[in-house]
Structure 1
Amino acid sequence: MRRALLAITGLAASTTVLVVLKGSPGATGVAQDLPAERPPVVPAPAGPTPTGGDASAAPSPSGSTASPRPGRTATRASSVRPGATTRAPSAPRTSSKPPPAPTTRTVTGPVVENEYGNVQVQITLSGTRIVDVVALELPEETAQSDQRSEQVDGRYSGSSGLVVQRQSADVDTVSGATATSDAYKQSLQAAIDRAN
């Protein structure tokens, strides 16, 4: 009987010390950060305590009970105000629309006459850049003028011709086709001027 009384008294004393430590202001962060809805679990003694009551209801010397202070939750430890809502950072806003594509337009130069026939040039621009050149009209009256026109057209026109490469009408004259080359460059320069 004496052993049972000593065991019960020891258990009650250790429970009281545990309750006092959990309720004191200097207790560890774990005891203070428990939610108010769930009081800490304290083992009940096997029998009556010397005070004649339940050990879990034993008051501490400071007059507080075993439950943590009301309103203390784990969010307090993370420096968020009680009652404040937290929001995850939002992703940066991205536009679902692609950037506008440069406008493509065509500009036609005037018809320029020379001794072999007429020359007219049309340019295609993407934004301010020349992307293609087409000869709408070239001299074709004789086999010789047709051959020279083909040389001029092959050298200056197209998306990989000299005009697109240099982005200007300042191109070298085709040897043997000076009149057609000059007429081509005049119509081309007029088209570039109209585009600007």
Structure 2
Amino acid sequence: MRRVLFAVAGLAAGTTLLVVLKTGPAATPVAGAARTEATGRPAAAPTAAAPGPARATGAAPTGAATDPGRSGTGPSAGSRPTRPRATAHAPAPGRSSAAPKAPTGPRTLYGSVVKAPGYGNVQVQITVSGRTVTAVKAIELPFDTPTSEQKSASVRQRYETKGEALAYATGRSARLDAVSGATETSAAYRGSLQSALDQR
């Protein structure tokens, strides 16, 4: 009788073991709810493994092509390579064809000192407004001797009092003729006047 009871108990235990092994370690919803009520904490959901082979980060798969366009260092798919921007150069300053404007206020220009052989030095100054000569005057003439004084007076009378030098300076006269009897002094006067006119 005891042997029969032991056999029945062993059969029941084996059947239960087989049923547990077939269902696996996953807890049924009822068992999970029971655990939650017992511990007061929700049962942790089983983590499912990602399907497919795991990929190693940073390493290319074996047999992958070494195309730089597809490698990790190359540009990503769909991106366009950036082109260097052309730097804008400032335009070179061009030369202006317009003539520089002359100063508007009156100016005094001094001619060079020219020596009248045998008599002395001669220097002429001019007054200019813009580019127009408005006055001509000798600031140095030889007056050391009565002869040089006479010659200088003749030159001053002809060129300045009569206005021949101003007419020549403003273009109203094509020539500035020599003064009779004072050739050297008048030549020195004309040379100094021309050097002053060249400074305009």
TM-score when scaled to structure 1? Answer: 0.45
Return the index of the structure with the highest Cα Rg. 2
